[in-house]
A and B are shown apart, each in its own frame.
Chain A
Amino acid sequence: MYTLEVKNLTKIFGEHKANDNVSLQIEKGEFFVLLGPSGCGKSTLLRSVAGLEIPDSGEIFISGESVMDKEPGERDVAMMFQQATLYPNMNVFDNVAFPLKIKGVDKQKIEKQVTDALELVQIPEKRNSNIKNLSGGEAQRAMIARVLVQDPEVFLLDEPFSSLDHQLRVYMRKEIMRIHQKTGVTIMFVTHNQEEAMKVGDQLAIMNNGRIEQVGTPAETLQQPNNKFVAQFIGHPQMNFIPAEVSEQDGQLVLKVDSQTYGPIAQEDLIKQPESTDLTIGVRPEEVSVEKEKKSGEDKLNSKVEFTESTGANNYIHFDLGGASVQASVPEIKDWDQGDEVSVSFNKERLKLFDPDGERIK
């Protein structure tokens, strides 16, 4: 039994399909991240789980039980929004105690649970503070405490830290991970920040245009993207995409980039047979190796350096292949100059191939 299961969920706003036949399963204790560009429907999905949106079709199960007829408050979920939704008319203690009061928990229990929760988020000294006097981080901690006291089956977070500055965001992210480890609560976390998603998630679901493109561990989505969208969305710096044509040469498959030939590629490496000859090579900058001199031969492509750039820690050179701008990671930036001849080869194991629909075939 899954802690949270979504089956064929569709939600339409006017003409726009915010969620298009979405299905997913979350195991107990999992840190599940919904990742996607803004407007991809990830927040709508989360809000449907919370009961704040009524889906047009599909079903949602929490602990094996359908929650479609349940009010948001009856679903055994707790939710954190982008902004800390502390109630301005209550102090910190009353804010954290609010969900318990609504559920009619008795006073002594409330006192103990709220005290414990404030301890856990490390702001016990703020219990009687007016929420106006909290810093951004303290407000988020109070929010986490209010979510924790509800002891929910699923903890829903809708980009909870995106309004914080970078340092605080990193810090709160660690806090959430610490609390996740300590309490073992199941978390569904929405973000558009792929770095954040990779760091916190046990499982990622990458969404685009209302659909889930891929579900997997961060490593899986990075190393085995289902399609071009996932490949370009996950990983930093971005994957290079080079248009190529597949053709047969001496009974073997080769890739043609402009007039140059790359290959051969082993037939058995392909997940499926390409239906078209127009393909896209996907290769990450660190999987591109470059040599200074023009060399010909198997698996070598030639180009000229267009420009170089450095982040201090990482150095990249950029060149053109088949009309696409390609960047390669290099150990030393000073070895390279604009206009230098460069001979390029790829890590063949890691090289990806995408068909014209963007599906990965290798």
Chain B
Amino acid sequence: MSKKQTSGIKWLRKKFSSLLVLLLGVGLFLFVFLPIFYIATMSIKSQSYVVSGEFSLIFFKPSFNAWINTFNNPRIWTGLSLSVRTATISTVIAVILGTMAAYGFSRYKFRGDDDFLFFILTQRMLPPIAIFLPYTLVWQYLDMIGKWYNLLIPYILISLPITTWLMHAYINNIPIELEESARVEGCSQLEVLWRIVLPNSLPGLLMTSMFNFALLWNEYMFALFFRNRTLPVEVGAGIRYVELTPWPTLSAQGVFLMVLPATFAFYLQKRIREQPITF
């Protein structure tokens, strides 16, 4: 009798736990996708519908005015161009410098190397607003406020710590014997880096680049204060506190802002999965 009962309890427990997992899954899904779905649908509503007081996530008459406004707005295109430029250049430079630093930390021992590596990470914990003032003074002195390239140095600086740390972990994973082998086979130190270390840490390089690009793409504060109208700044400029905010247009811009890093991330994660390197 008791045997049957326990198996019944077991069955119930099993059912209950799978129900719990399902509920958690749905909750997580809604938590992540509801906001995206919300602004995506908002972007194809008309302003009059939004302000009319009616609300439906699904049943409404679509209007593409917001998207037409967005694409017809030249500032969106200049913002996009600026964002792509600053995020890409900074990412590339940060990944190159960070990888070189990571290689050094990984392969050369010197006094205090671990402390120094940690010191680099602490730079990431520095609040950006704290270094905003000295930058502003220097940029003003050099008459660089409003110039697009004034973002490069702070952007590289905020990406370097994480880049160095991530790449340090990847390079540590490459057996030193691979490099020694290559050196005996005639590679110089630079050739070893170029032909062995970099190709074998490619997934790491792609991941790190993706991470940095997303970070810089979304950066708002430096761009705003140094008077560079990157895409997030343009989108943010749409918010009105006195007049009526053009919610659908703003949503369309928001969606537009999301598309590029998402595409980039999707493409890269495919590459990373295609080429997993194990030692």
Interface residues, chain A, CB within 8 Å of chain B?
50-52, 71-75, 77-79, 81-83, 85, 87-89, 98-99, 102-103, 132, 146, 150, 156
Q: B-side interface residues toward A, CB under 8 Å?
A: 175, 177-178, 180-188, 191, 195-196, 199-200, 202, 277-279
Q: Are the CB atoms of A79 and B181 closer together than 8 Å?
A: yes
Q: Which chain B residues lie closer than 8 Å to A83 at the CB level?
A: 175, 177
Q: Considering the complex of A and B, which 6 residue pairs feature the smallest CB-CB distances, nearest first?
A: A73-B186, A99-B185, A89-B199, A85-B181, A102-B186, A81-B177
**How many angstroms between the C-alpha atoms of A81 and B181 in the bound complex?**
8
- B277 adjacent to A88 (CB under 8 Å): yes
Tell me, rounded to whole Å, the shortest Cβ–Cβ distance linking A316 to chain B. Answer: 41
Residues of B within 8 A of A89 (CB): 196, 199-200, 202, 277
Complex contact A51–B184 (CB within 8 A): yes
A50 to B181, alpha carbons, bound, how many Å?
10
**Majority secondary structure of chain B interface residues (helix, strand, loop or mixed):** helix
CB distance from B55 to the nearest CB of A (A): 54
Most chain B beta-carbon contacts within 10 A, residue among A50, A77, A87: A87
Q: Once bound together, how far apart are the Cα atoms of A13 and B178, in whole Å? A: 23
B175 & A72 in contact (Cβ 8 Å cutoff) = no
The interface residues of chain A lying within 8 Å CB-to-CB of B183 are 51-52, 71-73
Q: Is the CB of A73 within 8 A of B187?
A: yes
A90 to B: closest C-beta gap in Å: 8
The answer for the CA separation of A150 and B175 in the assembled complex, in Å, is 22
Number of A-B contacts (CB under 8 A): 66
Return A112 CB to nearest CB of chain B, in Å. 19
- Are A73 and B185 neighbours in the complex by a CB distance under 8 Å? yes
Given contacts A85-B177, A102-B191, 14 further A-B contacts (CB under 8 A): A51-B184, A71-B183, A73-B183, A73-B187, A81-B180, A82-B177, A83-B175, A85-B181, A88-B278, A98-B182, A98-B185, A99-B186, A102-B185, A132-B278
- B184, A88: Cβ atoms closer than 8 Å: no
Q: Chain B residue with minimal CB distance to A104? A: B186
Q: How far is the CA of A79 from the CA of B185 in the complex (A)?
A: 8
Cα–Cα distance between A99 and B277 once the two chains are bound (Å): 22
Separation in Å of the B109 CB from the closest CB of chain A? 12
Is B184 in contact with A78, judged by CB distance below 8 angstroms? yes
Residue of A nearest to B181 (CB): A85
Chain A residue nearest to B179 (CB atoms) is A85
- For residue B186, give the distance in angstroms from its CB to the closest CB of chain A: 3
* B189: nearest chain-A partner, CB-CB: A71
> Whole-angstrom distance from the CB of A267 to the nearest CB of chain B?
53
A81 to chain B: which residues have CB within 8 Å?
177, 180-181
Indicate if the CB atoms of A87 and B196 lie closer than 8 Å: yes
